[in-house]
Amino acid sequence: MLKKYESMVIVSPSLNEDTAKQTNEEVHSFIKENGGEILNVDEWGKKRLAYEIKEVREGFFFVNYYTFDPANIAELERFLKLNDKIIRHNILVK
């Protein structure tokens, strides 16, 4: 049974906007390849972070809404952690 999820992905500001969007598309591809479906995406653009992460003060923000199999969430978490372009992420059950 698929559940609805919401994830915020913050991409490194050292990339240009197109590369940041492409990085978020890689996240979408991973979700789709593992049986999920993208419902909606909010692109917030480049914003200042509330606090510094790894000496970085801003990033490209994306909020993804999708359905996904809970059994595969650990793999999605691993994929997000291993992507060096993503400086922070979260996964919330809707």
CB-based contact 9:24 (threshold 8 Å): yes
* pLDDT value at residue 54: 83
Specify the 3-state DSSP secondary structure of 27: helix
Which of 79, 90, 89, 72 has its CA nearest to residue 35?
A: 72
Question: Whole-prediction pTM value?
Answer: 0.94
Domain of residue 13 covers 3-93
Give the CATH number of the domain where residue 60 resides: 3.30.70.60
Domains in the chain, number: 1
**Through-space distance between the first and last CA atoms of the chain, rounded to whole angstroms:** 14
What does the pLDDT look like over 34-54, one tens digit per residue? 999 999 999 999 999 999 988
DSSP 24: H
Yes or no: say if 89 and 9 are a contact pair by the CB < 8 Å rule.
yes
